[in-house]
Chains A and B, each alone.
Chain A
Amino acid sequence: MNAQNKFISRAKLADWLKELSSRFEVWAPRKEGEGARSVVVYRPFEAEKGLELDRKPTESAKHTMFPRSETLFNFRRNLVEGAPSLELEEAADPAPRLVFGLLSCDARGFQIFDPVYNGSGTNGQAKDTYYLKRRSSTVLIVKSCSKVLSTCFCNWVGGGPASTEGADVLATEVQDGFLLTPVSERGAAVLDSSLLAATNSDMESAAADSQTKAAAALPAAPDLKESQSALLGKFDNAAFWQAESSKCLSCGACTYLCPTCYCFNISDEAAGYNGVRLRNWDSCMMPLFTMEASGHNPRTPKMGRLKNRVGHKFSYYPSLHGGRIACCGCGRCIKSCPSSVDIRRIVTDAIGFTETVGLKEQNNG
């Protein structure tokens, strides 16, 4: 597809996103807050609020596809004496979206959602129509990652800083702008703009160079295929899980920041006779997640919950979905954990090769 590569200069980027805003609800990363307290978050694009493309986004882009809170349907009750009636009205279809500047690991995150929300990899076969509607109408412009952090391990789980998996367009930073490579047809369609320029061979080789450099900055990837059986083998080993979870505070930050955590809750909100049924993000790190009405809870100690989070990603999910690991190696859960819990280490400890892999103890404090 090289022939259709395009160039967008930093100077014209905001104009291009404005142009795209006539066809899409455009989302892009921007900085919120000041100085050491600032974070980089994905928000609906507003030119005057700027873009932040140099720092890594603190949160994942998961909420652009899977909102934190989403209306499933509205209900209206009419309690007329003798003839009560009830009307249900499905939420309106989402507007087409375009996400600019998500990281390659974040785009791969959606691919981990796909077989679950598409019902193709489960016995239920149910199709999550809300997710599918958004997924099929959203264009993803992935920014090839040029800043490898000590917490990054996308290459352990099948990814890479310039992976195009899940992307519609790959944007690679070059002098004064980005080289845009169409990956899918709908990606090619958004590159049709007079604000974009043709590329030249200098840009092409600079882009290839920066991609190679980023890939080389990652530590060597250990083979994780044993994680499935190793974690199951440790299931009843309370001493192992006690040790691995001793620092965990059950705050749930890891799950909310994670691009591959997809658990949700369903609840109603009503005022008078009208109301909505909502789905909201939930977290398996929360003690109430599995609490039954009888008071029985199969995951009372926190080690049971951390075991589920790691087990799901590196053992149960792969066993259901052709070996694919349900973690894209973005490292956010490691970087943002207040207690420096390191998911890589739990997996390599379970397999028993942490020493060989050469992981150091994290200390975020």
Chain B
Amino acid sequence: MANENATPTPTYEPGTRNPYMPYVATVVEVVTETHNIKTFRLRLDGEGVHEAFDHKPGQTGQLSVFGVGESTFVINSPPTRKDKYIQFSCMRAGEVTTALHGLQAGDKIGVRAPMGNSFDYDAMKGKDIFFIGGGIGMAPMRTLLLYMLDNRKDYGKISLLYGAKSPEDLSFAEDREDWLKRDDMNTYLTIDKEAPGWEHKVGLIPHVLEAIGPSPENCVAITCGPPIMIKFVLQALNKLGFKPDQIVTTLEKRMKCGIGICGRCNIGGKYVCIDGPVFTFEQLSQMPNEL
């Protein structure tokens, strides 16, 4: 009478890692980036735990402020620079992010990471890379950009267009100084409106992008930012001749478990927490339209 095709009942194997249990970490430094973005540099507690931590550019993590909750953020420091800390930059948006903004060096925090897929940096070897970031969208790209700079000879021309509303809304001041100085990458900064003392570009990111006019030849465009920016950047890239499989982005969805179980972040049969957050526009075009 037993159904031959029935799947066997799964069993619990003692010692299986509990994926809901965060690592405890210590805040080593907090950097105020803008009026609503702070960067948190964390070191995982416990002997050898931080050293054993391994992630890939594009992967995310869940940060816990115990008693308030958990939220999703991109690990925005590359694996090539994690000896002292791993880094997350968080924009104040609601409950958890407001609590995060109250943390200081020495405070304890929970980290579940790494999660999700990553940028396909191996497939990008030998290609020109054009980064286009708006606002907090610079966070996921920072990881990949630094990773590529640390493996500079593997990649062709590297360019960055990074924009925000005003000079005060641009994050990563230290990085920006370095990026502008380097002769192995082109850095373009832009703000929406003219501001006193501003020496860089002025104008919305999609317009500035069109004016720079990168060639799609052997090039991958990577773009992260608010949905409205992505929409117009996509149009600009299309005009420049970029094909959907040459354009890479990261998606945002409300998340909870981060491990493909709680059912919150799906687009059809894809779960952004495990199948993403990195997708090409070619992949997105094959998914149900529910962004």
Contact A270 B67 (CB under 8 A): yes
Contact B257 A266 (CB under 8 A): yes
Determine the chain B residues whose CB is within 8 A of the CB of A106 once the complex forms: none
A117-B261, A118-B10, A263-B262 are known contacts. Are A124 and B273 too (CB-CB below 8 A)? Answer: yes
Determine the chain B residues whose CB is within 8 A of the CB of A267 once the complex forms: 69
Determine the chain B residues whose CB is within 8 A of the CB of A85 once the complex forms: 108
A86-B108, A88-B24 are known contacts. Are A164 and B93 too (CB-CB below 8 A)? Answer: no
Determine the chain B residues whose CB is within 8 A of the CB of A315 once the complex forms: 268-269
Q: B86 CB to closest chain A CB, in angstroms?
A: 18
Contact A183 B1 (CB under 8 A): yes
Q: Would you call A212 an interface residue if the criterion is a C-beta within 8 Å of the partner chain's C-beta atoms?
A: no
A73-B20, A111-B6, A292-B253 are known contacts. Are A124 and B264 too (CB-CB below 8 A)? Answer: no
Contact A114 B1 (CB under 8 A): no
Interface of chain A residues 40 through 98 with chain B (CB within 8 A): 72-73, 75, 77, 82, 84-86, 88, 90
Of A125-133, A148-156, A340-348, A353-361, the segment with at least 4 beta carbons within 8 Å of chain B is A125-133
Contact B18 A90 (CB under 8 A): yes
Contact A122 B271 (CB under 8 A): yes
Contact B16 A127 (CB under 8 A): yes
Determine the chain B residues whose CB is within 8 A of the CB of A4 once the complex forms: none
Interface bin, chain B:
35 or more
**Majority secondary structure of chain A interface residues (helix, strand, loop or mixed):** mixed
**Which residue of B is nearest A170, CB measured?**
B1
Q: In the complex, what distance in Å separates the CA atom of A1 from the CA atom of B67?
A: 52
Of B143-151, B158-166, B168-176, B283-291, the segment with at least 4 beta carbons within 8 Å of chain A is B283-291
Binary A-proximity of B242-270 (CB < 8 A = 1, otherwise 0): 00000000001110110111111011110
In this complex, which of A84, A128, A132 has the most chain B Cβ atoms within 10 angstroms of its Cβ?
A: A128
Contact B271 A282 (CB under 8 A): no
Q: Would you call A115 an interface residue if the criterion is a C-beta within 8 Å of the partner chain's C-beta atoms?
A: yes
Q: Would you call A319 an interface residue if the criterion is a C-beta within 8 Å of the partner chain's C-beta atoms?
A: yes
Q: Would you call B68 an interface residue if the criterion is a C-beta within 8 Å of the partner chain's C-beta atoms?
A: yes
Contact B21 A293 (CB under 8 A): no
Determine the chain A residues whose CB is within 8 A of the CB of B264 once the complex forms: 263, 282, 284, 289-290
Q: In the complex, what distance in Å separates the CA atom of A281 from the CA atom of B5?
A: 30
Determine the chain B residues whose CB is within 8 A of the CB of A290 once the complex forms: 253-254, 264
Determine the chain B residues whose CB is within 8 A of the CB of A130 once the complex forms: 18, 20
Partner among A77, A136, A269, A298 whose Cβ is within 8 Å of the Cβ of B108: A77
Partner among A77, A84, A123, A132 whose Cβ is within 8 Å of the Cβ of B260: A123
Contact A232 B16 (CB under 8 A): no
A88-B22, A123-B260 are known contacts. Are A312 and B266 too (CB-CB below 8 A)? Answer: yes
Q: Footprint of B on A, CB under 8 Å?
A: 1, 72-73, 75, 77, 82, 84-86, 88, 90, 111, 114-120, 122-124, 126-130, 132-133, 135-137, 162-166, 170, 181, 183-184, 232, 235-236, 262-270, 275, 277, 279, 282, 284, 289-294, 296, 298-299, 304, 308, 311-312, 315-317, 319-320
Q: Footprint of A on B, CB under 8 Å?
A: 1-3, 6-7, 9-12, 16-22, 24, 64, 66-70, 93-94, 97, 106-108, 110, 117, 226-227, 252-254, 256-257, 259-264, 266-269, 271, 273-275, 288-291
Name 16 extra pairs, CB < 8 A, besides A132-B12, A311-B268: A1-B1, A85-B108, A114-B10, A116-B260, A116-B261, A122-B271, A129-B19, A132-B11, A135-B12, A164-B2, A164-B6, A235-B290, A236-B289, A268-B66, A292-B252, A316-B269
What are 20 A-B contacts defined by CB distance under 8 Å?
A: A73-B20, A73-B21, A75-B66, A77-B66, A85-B108, A114-B10, A123-B260, A123-B271, A123-B275, A124-B274, A126-B259, A128-B261, A136-B11, A164-B2, A264-B262, A265-B262, A284-B263, A293-B94, A296-B227, A298-B253
